[in-house]
Amino acid sequence: MASKKKETGPTIEVENSGETLVLKSPDQKVWDRYISHRRRGELSAGRRELVACCTTSHEGGEVLELLKKKPALPKKIADALEDLAGAGADYDIGDDSATCTADDGTEITIRAPSLEEWEALESDEIAPADFSVKVREAITKLCTEPAAGAFERFPALPIVLLDAAAQLAGAGVQVVVKKG
């Protein structure tokens, strides 16, 4: 396999049969396509594309050939890329706000969504190709302070914050049905 450029910033290295693949975190465009694949139920294709697009050590076609030979590899690598993109970030829920902390220490606080904002987020009419963009736009409106580039560095954070917004909107309230 031919080498591509060296990458700066956080990377993932994958050792495979004497070859080392180096991958960078996905940018927003690549992340949006990955989420679009997932929303359409095309998880395997989305993982392969995510891995190929994020690999900096080899050309995309070479990576896809390797992934054909090692079909379980894309899931392992995609899981690591999701984490690098911020999907594993934690958040704390308050009474009317939630704060998420990215790996670099950046804190993003959102307020609870209004009824109209929640209904727009919950809409089944959001096309899979638009989902990631629409969520990012909606979560940006809920931010109590500008995200200051955090979504560019960690494109998965809006999805994490969507879960936090759901908790603030009442999705985490326990409902007990008593029959009798």
pLDDT class for 166, splitting at 50, 70, 90?
very high
Task: Write down how long the chain is.
Answer: 180
Q: What is the pLDDT of residue 84?
A: 94
pLDDT for position 148: 65
Q: Is the pLDDT of residue 40 over 80?
A: yes
pLDDT digits (tens, 9 = 90+) for 76-109: 999 999 999 999 999 999 989 999 998 888 899 9
Please check whether residue 115 is in contact with residue 176, taking contact to mean a CB–CB distance below 8 angstroms.
no
* End-to-end C-alpha distance for the chain, whole angstroms: 68
Please state, as a whole number, how many other Cβ atoms lie within 10 Å of the Cβ of residue 54: 28
Q: Which sequence spans correspond to the domains of the chain? A: 11-84, 90-168
Give percent of the chain above pLDDT 90.
64
State the Cα angle at 79 between 52 and 138, rounded to 5°: 90
pLDDT at 157: 94
pLDDT at position 1: 47
Task: Report pTM.
Answer: 0.84
